[in-house]
Amino acid sequence: MKTILYTLLPLFLFLVFTPLTTSDAFAQPILEAESAVTTEGEITIKGNRVRYEATAGTQPVWNDEGEPDASLFYVYYRRTDVDDVANRPLVFSFNGGPGSASVWMHIGYTGPKFLNIDDEGHPVQPYGVSDNEHSILDVADIVYIDPVNTGFSRILDEEAERSDFFGVNADIQYLAAWIDNFVSRHNRWTSPKYLKGESYGTTRVAGLARQLQSSHWMFVNGVILVSPTGLGLEPPAMTPRSEILKLPYYAATAWYHDALPSDLQQRNLDDLLPEVEEFTIEEYLPAVARGGTLPEDQRNEIAEKVSTYSGIDKQHILDHNLTLPTSFYWKELLREDGITVGRLDSRYRGIDRSDAGNQYDHDPALTAWNHAFAPGINYYLREVLGYETDLQYNLFGPVHPWDRSNDSTGDDLRRAMGENPFLNVMVQSGYFDGATDYFSAKYVMWSMDRSGKVSDRLRFEGYRSGHMMYLRQEDLATSNEHIREFIQNSLTNGESARY
């Protein structure tokens, strides 16, 4: 017996004290297809006490054989002190990327907890969250959903095709089925339903509105597009028309950084932007459309005006054939000060290794936000909501290659509005957003309704902040109130919706 023990002892010590490799550690079964933990909370919104349940959990994505291919993480907030649950609105919330988790709007916008940041959105310590007195939980229950490979959501079946998840239309199809399942499990079929998406999430919810109607017979009351993409209607990035539509954003950014001529700088932004928009549509766009046939005197006149509104030297405008690439703009506007401006929010300033070049080293807005959101969401989900997992929470997850072909989401949303007289749409954009600029968002909205027949169900709101306009305290209050009004008005208008 002693001989056997002495023989096995080295092997035992090796197994106990030899650390697992990275691949071994991640091979452990650490994701559940279905899980849920529920906690109770209370918050004061607009002076009224709101009691709620927060359920953090996972729900499967089923394949054609009825087996779970993936598991999606979600957080569901349900107000508990209401009597009429049948008429209680329900909001499904997504962020973008397309590889982004729902964290941004979850603890930065409409949820009952708000990230610890200063009034302009910059990170502060200690990290964490506090009560969000502007949350829309007083008027609607909310579900924050992390698509596959974002947040705690993961593929379960190693043999599952990535193309089943990572593409414009695949994403819409599996999420529509997931929402159908969620609504059935939680007995919310009678509830008025709303879809809210930010950035690429607007592509997602625009397509979902039509997919839910056509394949799941689920008609939604409203779609909220926060900092929308082109939805298949706007010209692809870096085409002349897409660059022209950026001019009002350039003017807003230059105004913010005191880079405009003094007569323009002294004007109120709300008065200045309509003038720039008018010039963009009536003069700038037709001039560039003429290309090399534009007479030299008109070319110089247009370049002079673009220079005046953008804060960029006229010669640079001429050198770029009357248009300005955004990457160049972010580097050039404050180049003399050795400063760059942010892409997602051009109020933010950055420092590059060198002042030379045509693009910045990093987006100072995004790095500032990651600084605060990563510790904030991990603390909140794990310690406050009590969701236990060894998984890393992916603010941005691996979802590439992403199939962007056949993006008809803008037209899908238009068709959904045509089929559903109860469906209303609201666009929310920040004036200083250089990624999905506000004037292009207006263009997308106009393109959706070329006939003008649904204009009474389209609403646009602009804010003096960037891509995540809600991170600025003043806009957090205003933008949430706009959503609150949008939900209440859509229910009221729906009572007499007829063609």
pLDDT digits (tens, 9 = 90+) for 358-402: 889 888 888 888 888 999 999 999 999 999 999 999 999 999 999
CB 179 within 8 A of CB 77: no
Provide mean pLDDT across the span 263-269.
96
CA 158 to chain centre: 29
pLDDT at site 482? 98
pLDDT at site 30? 57
- pLDDT score of 26 more than 90: no
Is the model more confident about 119 or about 215? 215
Is the model more confident about 14 or about 99? 99
pLDDT at site 235? 62
Provide mean pLDDT across the span 59-79.
94
User: What mean pLDDT is reported for the chain?
Assistant: 90
In this predicted model, what pLDDT tens digit does every residue of 232-242 receive, in sequence order? Answer: 876 665 566 78
Query: Considering the entire predicted model, what is its pTM?
Result: 0.91
Is the model more confident about 125 or about 8? 125
pLDDT at site 237? 59
Which band of pLDDT confidence, cut at 50, 70 and 90, is reported for residue 122?
confident
- pLDDT score of 15 more than 50: no
pLDDT at site 1? 42
CB 463 within 8 A of CB 472: yes
- pLDDT score of 8 more than 90: no
**Length of the chain, please?**
499
Largest distance between two CA atoms of the chain: 102
- pLDDT score of 444 more than 80: yes
Residues 6+ apart with CB under 8 A from 247: 276, 279, 280, 284, 306, 309, 310, 439
Domains defined for the chain, CATH in brackets: 35-234+371-494 (3.40.50.1820), 240-365 (no CATH)
Cis before 248? omega within 30: no
Name which of 69-83, 137-151, 350-364, 453-467 the model is least confident about. 350-364
Packed helices 409-419 and 438-448: angle between N→C axes, nearest 10 degrees: 50
Structure-token pair, residue 145: 């959903």
Is the model more confident about 7 or about 406? 406
User: 3-state secondary structure string, the chain?
Assistant: CHHHHHHHHHHHHHHHHCCCCHHHHHCCCCCCCCEEEEEEEEEEECCEEEEEEEEEEEEEEECCCCCEEEEEEEEEEEECCCCCHHHCCEEEEECCCCCECCHHHHHHHHCCEEECECCCCCECCCCCEEECCCCHHHCCEEEEEECCCCECCEECCCCCCHHHCCEHHHHHHHHHHHHHHHHHHCCCCCCCEEEEEECHHHHHHHHHHHHHHHHHCCCCCEEEEECCCCCCCCCCCCCHHHHHCCHHHHHHHHHHCCCCCHHHHCCCHHHHHHHHHHHHHHHHHHHHHCHHHCCHHHHHHHHHHHHHHHCCCHHHHHHCCCCCCHHHHHHHCCHHHCCEECCCCCCCEECCCCCCCCCCCCCHHHHHHHHHHHHHHHHHHHHHCCCCCCCCCECECCCCCCECCCCCHHHHHHHHHHHCCCCEEEEEEECCCCCCCHHHHHHHHHHHCCCCCCHHHEEEEEECCCCCHHHCHHHHHHHHHHHHHHHHHHHHHHCCCCC
pLDDT at site 496? 55
Provide mean pLDDT across the span 202-213.
97
